[in-house]
Amino acid sequence: MRSRIRASLESLYGRSLQAGLSETPSHIAVIQDGNRRFAKVRGKDPSKGHQAGAETTEQVLEWCDELGISEVTLYTFSTENFKRPPDEQEELFDLIERKLKEFADADRIHESEVRIRAIGETDRLPKRVQDAVEYADEQTKEYDNLVLNIALAYGGRTELLSAAKFIAKRVQEGKLKPEDITTTTIASALETKPRHDVDLIIRSGGDERTSNFLPWQANGNEAAVYFTAPYWPAFRKIDFLRGLRTYEQREHQRHISKLNRTRAILSAVAPKNTPNKPQENQPSTENTKVDTPRTGEMQSQTS
């Protein structure tokens, strides 16, 4: 009984959150943290937590499609994950391979025209995972309604280092002048080329860090960040909507800041009004009754 009441209240709260949104991000990046801890507190193997997390990921994609979000990037397997025990890595690779193929064949993926692509050093992955990546890419390459970037063997610092080396080599070969290097040059040298810069990063699991995730695309765009306590398998739609609300509040603050800066600039460059010299033979204002404005009128005149 109590669980049904709670579910009803959460549903009502979720509808209220969604109704209050007036602006949604174009690109969301998600750090799916807490799968292993979710399994541990329940006395289960880490693989069970990863499987439960994969189900949450499917729900998130449905929410994004429902709300018109056009790009999602999932931090599925980082370069740091190669340090995990080999047996856990193999279980993760099995799950990634299976889910990629399931996604590529799912009717809802084709009905929603979801484009699936992998980013990262995919050549470091087992051959079976690379084949699954190619299969998903081939099956969805014609779609562009929702782009799903799956970060595999990805590390932000590694990506920036590779881009720097590529640009340095072009300079050394005389193909690029140092003074011609721009932010566009760097962006084009990155292996990761999302359709949009990141607007919002969501991280589950309680840790408040972005873990080297898309530093150029997110930090350069001053993306909003939403940290939430639930482990990824327990991530709910109301948590997702709260993240969107964080983005909307951030954008509102950004618009206000821009407006205030514009007003300050206009105020600084506006010509100062100089008082007119008194004219000769001007009638004296002595003994002339002057109406003193009331408080409300004074505020409107001086505002």
Domain that residue 129 falls in: 24-156+196-258
Residue 273 lies in a domain: no
pLDDT at position 273: 60
Residue 110 lies in a domain: yes
Residue 77 lies in a domain: yes
Q: 45, 81, 94, 197: which one is catalytic?
A: 81
| CATH number, domain with residue 236 | 3.40.1180.10
Percent of all residues in the chain with a pLDDT value above 90, rounded to a whole number: 65
Residue 121 lies in a domain: yes
203-247 residue pLDDT tens: 999 999 998 899 998 877 789 999 999 999 999 999 999 999 999
Residue 57 lies in a domain: yes
| Pairing relationship of beta strands 27-31 and 71-78 according to DSSP bridges | parallel
pLDDT at position 289: 44
Residue 169 lies in a domain: no
* pTM for this model (two decimals): 0.80
Residues in the chain where the model's pLDDT stays below 70 = 271-303
pLDDT at position 292: 43
Task: Look at the chain and report how many structural domains it folds into.
Answer: 1
pLDDT at position 227: 96
How far apart, in whole angstroms, are the C-alpha atoms of residue 67 and residue 61? 10
Residue 182 lies in a domain: no
DSSP 240-264: HHHHHHHHHHHHHHHHHHHHHHHHH
Residue 203 lies in a domain: yes
Mean pLDDT of the chain: 86
123 in active site:
no
33 in active site:
yes
